[in-house]
Chain A
């Protein structure tokens, strides 16, 4: 498989669970604290949205389910089971389809893990973020450093054989030594999959205000570049497979099939409050407030709030923007022509040669891939494929 996917490839199914016990100060996802009482009717609404979607697009094969949040592990396993069954009933899914669930370390134990596995989940993604007590505190996380290791052991014991951990680097005050220590933990734990996210100060978050007021100081561009490069080197030395800018897999089989679909500019349903979908050149997003979302579905309306029809120029730019994040795969000229009906060279010849000259990407006439430097400057590269705005005098 290479990017981009053909237009008729099976769908991903993203299910958003917008509930958290607390909101982390850096997070700007669509999530709410103290709304857990809505969970039962929210699950009903998700199934209702599946029906509405099915009526709108007809039965289409699916390839993966991803429970994202928020904190999906707040849902009891029975409700997760209901949702997985509901998807399977409407959108045919192969037996070995990837079914991921994001979990916070403090929310899982052997019993819940067993329940999730019984429900059909076969991949757990654990939000560890850091093993530094100071880091967990400044990130506003609920757990202590000893919790993830126990959660990992419990998962292994329960038989989870596809286990991912998320870490964040570049948090306020983080030193390289602390990052090295986190990388040590990762290498010791040997999870199956790993996401390393560079902290982004998102607009509207408490973090943004704190940074603006000078209360928090985050490591600068050079420091986070050093951290990222250190991770690249250490993980490569340990034999990890770097398949996406922020993602590593123990083996190519352990890549996240659902996330790959995003980078390959594939199509997916986005179910739930504020969820994003990409279907047949339309990108849409749902009503954000859970109560409003539930009300819309009860009224029999598709809960879509925003909808953008992509013209071919934008669709091609997205193929590049997304596909170039896959260092191994990159974008394939053949797949590009099959998907968009135009030759890559003809559309982006100038950008490709400029960027190759600047040592930001490799272009061999069939594959476009970022160089190591390009990985760190992926935005600069991707921007070149977007339409040119008018330049000031």
Chain B
């Protein structure tokens, strides 16, 4: 156990690509936490996908020993935080385990909305901030301007800002000194009953769930009987230790220390981020504040393109779930798509990551239905139902009111894009709240907007309309009643469940038109006329007809090459067998893929603007 006086717990807050991982690497090197031979580039981002997307998905932690200029050796615990808006709760729990934060801002890019959101989380959590203007050696760096903005926005003093270049090692020691001198040591009562905050976990096939904890009060000992206060699970500390950065066993961890507990638990769901670990025999009277059970915000159906992959998809989801308590799923079936799973995600990025991991790591070919949020439906009989799947929506006659989640948005951008951003937001039913100039040419805009409008392609649209300069942060605000309708798509009179969606009445006509028009182009002609309709309840709002096939005949006999003729027909027939049947209509899988991926740009335009 190390005295609390010589512990510093901190995280790094940075926008994607602003150099967080490189800086972390330099700190590790400087403190010899890893030898150069062990040094894999960017140790903290260990998943391939993280590296590719340039973001950290799972928090990681590492302990460094730093001999400071005052002659003392300090234990510095770097607690890494996820860098994306979908994971803001996880960020808040990581920050809750720290007493300070390094704020890293790119000297060329300036402050971004996401960074600001996390800085505010850190300030609200009472953390000391050490600001670092990074990449000062870039040719287009403007460190003074960025430092000025930081003073303006966060109220830092000029001499509190460190100029650095993690890449070339400039300012690294200065940063380490600032960590020791500016960030307070953890408080906490080592004689009180044990309270340890879980800020992350991962599943280990041999040791079960490994909880990443910060001991807030008391002392954690190996083999201690433990209780998780929110889930009520009891277990023993099979092994405890610290991250150096590999898991290194210790016998006890005192208040203020950061490390891990091998819990022996079988599922990460039992070991939720934000939960408090206490001594089962001498429990703390109160858990630590701030715990929130996982609440998915975005829902979509995931279906294997090949029905035979269903068991493989089920197994893959179960494996991902081992390490991701925020992923929820349950089996569902669709007439059009067969058997699949309704999945809940923290946000769109989370969904995208899960989908990519399933496709890449598990080699699954997937079809995802349009993402949906969870609606609250007040029925005429006074009951309230929660609907995250359009096909569960009660019929219009039963509905008194539909409420949808709204989000608070913060967008930071160069001021020349204000018009484009305003247009994008208002086209999606967003409402302007406030605008602040950060400096002459940079603004912070606040909006409120339905979450449903945000989750489909909003971020990409924002990026493309601002040449990538705008950054976004959002958080859930409240539920509001809206004029929402369920839009059904009927093929030959038969509703296609996978294509139903819930949308605002004003955009229903436009979405319906667009869907039926694209289906008309995507569904091959059948032996009979096939009407394609979009309807709200029993009212048809758009209709197209796929005319019956007129001609499919081979011209000649290819000099007696009958085999070739037959093989051609066999191929046509196999192609049809791969199609999905909706009623008696054969629909190629690609039609679903194309229509389901269309949701995005349909939303980018305002109703009636085409």
Contacts and interface: CB of A to CB of B under 8 A. Distances in A.
Interface string B332-344: 0000001100000
A146 interface: no
Contacts of A14: 559-560
Contacts of B577: 388-392
A57 to B, nearest CB: 17
Given A198-B555, A380-B527, A386-B566, A393 B560 contact: no
Given A283-B563, A322-B562, A393 B338 contact: yes
Contacts of A377: 527, 549-553
Contacts of B566: 314, 317-318, 321, 386
Interface stretch (A111-119, A126-134, A135-143, A268-276): A268-276
Contacts of B572: 379, 383
B555 A197 contact: yes
A221 B562 contact: no
A228 B338 contact: no
B307 interface: yes
B495 to A, nearest CB: 19
Contacts of A318: 562, 566
A122 interface: no
Highest count of chain A CB atoms <10 Å: which of B338, B557, B565: B557
Contacts of A259: 557
Interface in A307-331: 308, 314, 317-318, 321-322
Given A270-B560, A388-B573, A388-B577, 5 more contacts: A198-B553, A221-B525, A376-B553, A377-B549, A383-B570
Contacts of A268: 560
Given A276-B562, A386-B566, A393-B308, A246 B552 contact: no
A278 B527 contact: no
Identify which of B549, B555, B560 gathers the most chain A CB atoms within 10 Å of its CB. Answer: B560
Contact of A200 (B307, B554, B573, B579): B554
Contacts of B550: 221-222, 225, 376-377
A194 interface: no
Interface in A86-138: none
Nearest to A226: B550
24 contacts: A68-B559, A198-B555, A221-B549, A222-B550, A224-B551, A225-B550, A263-B557, A268-B560, A277-B560, A283-B562, A314-B566, A321-B562, A358-B527, A376-B551, A377-B550, A379-B569, A383-B572, A388-B577, A389-B570, A389-B573, A392-B307, A392-B577, A392-B578, A393-B307
Interface string A209-246: 00000000000011011001000000000000000011
B555 to A, nearest CB: 4
B315 interface: no
B556 interface: yes
A198 B573 CA distance: 21
A361 interface: no
A285 B556 contact: no
B563 A380 contact: no
Contacts of A383: 569-570, 572-573, 576
A382 interface: yes
Chain B interface size, as a band, is: 35 or more
B286 interface: no
Contacts of A199: 555
Given A321-B565, A392-B306, A276 B560 contact: yes
A378 interface: yes
A262 interface: yes
Contacts of B306: 392-393
Contacts of B578: 392
A268 B558 CA distance: 14
A375 interface: yes
Contacts of B574: 389
Contacts of B70: none
Interface string A261-302: 011000010100001111000010100000000000000000
Interface in B534-569: 547, 549-563, 565-566, 569
A378 B553 contact: yes
Nearest to A261: B560
Nearest to B572: A383
A16 interface: yes
Interface in A337-380: 358, 360, 375-380
B524 to A, nearest CB: 10
B426 to A, nearest CB: 38
Contacts of A308: 563
Nearest to B564: A276
A83 B426 CA distance: 82
A189 interface: no
B583 to A, nearest CB: 15
Contacts of B547: 222
A317 to B, nearest CB: 7
B341 to A, nearest CB: 15
Most buried by A among B549, B551, B572, B578: B551
A209 to B, nearest CB: 20
Contacts of A12: 560
Contacts of A283: 562-563
Contacts of B559: 14, 16, 29, 68, 270, 275-276
B557 to A, nearest CB: 5
Contacts of A321: 562, 565-566, 569
Nearest to A263: B557
Contacts of B552: 221, 376-380
Contacts of A317: 566
A228 B554 contact: no
B560 A380 contact: no
Nearest to B310: A393
B580 interface: yes
Contacts of B558: 29, 276
Contacts of A378: 552-554
State the 3 A-B residue pairs at the shortest beta-carbon distance, nearest first: A393-B307, A225-B550, A225-B551
Contacts of A198: 551, 553, 555
A222 B549 CA distance: 9
B569 A386 contact: yes
A278 to B, nearest CB: 7
A378 B566 CA distance: 12
Nearest to B339: A393
A378 B550 CA distance: 10
A379 B525 contact: no
Interface string B298-332: 00000000111000000000000000000000000
Nearest to A308: B563
Contact of A197 (B307, B339, B556): B556
A226 to B, nearest CB: 9
| Residue from B306, B339, B550, B576 with most neighbouring chain A CB atoms (10 Å) | B550
Contact of B562 (A222, A275, A278, A390): A278
Contacts of A275: 559-560
A197 B578 CA distance: 30
B359 to A, nearest CB: 19
Contacts of B551: 198, 221-222, 224-225, 228, 376-377
A5 to B, nearest CB: 14
Most buried by B among A195, A221, A390, A393: A393
Contacts of A228: 551
